[in-house]
Amino acid sequence: MRISMIAGLAFAACACAGAALAGPMSNPPSERTLCLDVGGQSQPAVCMVPASRLDKREDFCLCNEGLKVSAPVCGPGERAPAENISYEKARKAAARDGSLIGDLYEGRAMCVAARNPAGSF
């Protein structure tokens, strides 16, 4: 009985700590992970995400192919640049430091759309 009680208390402590570390869901993510191949084309990233359609954060991401790059999430009313050859070349050059944060293409931020977990039905 003591072992089950100790295990229950340990589980409750871990659950409370995990909820506290997760932070509020009202804060939208400010960046996402992209995987870029040698030509600058975007490849899919494999991300571990919360099991919530409301929480748009990505806990961590891996790239099976290409370079792992951090990119800013587009703000309200802002759209990501259109995917074309000149944008891909500019993105490849800008991503050499591992980030697209602060980089511009034709005067616009090289941002990406926020993850849309509810749109996958």
Tens of pLDDT, residue by residue over 68-100, are 999 999 999 999 999 999 999 999 999 999 999
Any domain includes 1: no
3-class SS letters over 12-45: HHHHHHHHHHHCCCCCCCCEEEEEECCCCCEECC
Helix-then-strand count for the chain, H and E: 2, 7
On whether the CB atoms of residues 110 and 73 are closer than 8 A, the answer is no
User: What's the total number of domains in the chain?
Assistant: 1
Any domain includes 95: yes
CA 46, CA 25: separation in Å to the nearest integer?
Answer: 21
Any domain includes 22: no
Domain boundaries, position 88 = 28-115
| Average pLDDT across the chain, whole number | 79
Any domain includes 103: yes
Give one word for 101, left, alpha or beta, with left for phi > 0 and alpha for psi -120 to 50.
beta
Tens of pLDDT, residue by residue over 13-34, are 554 444 444 444 446 678 889 9
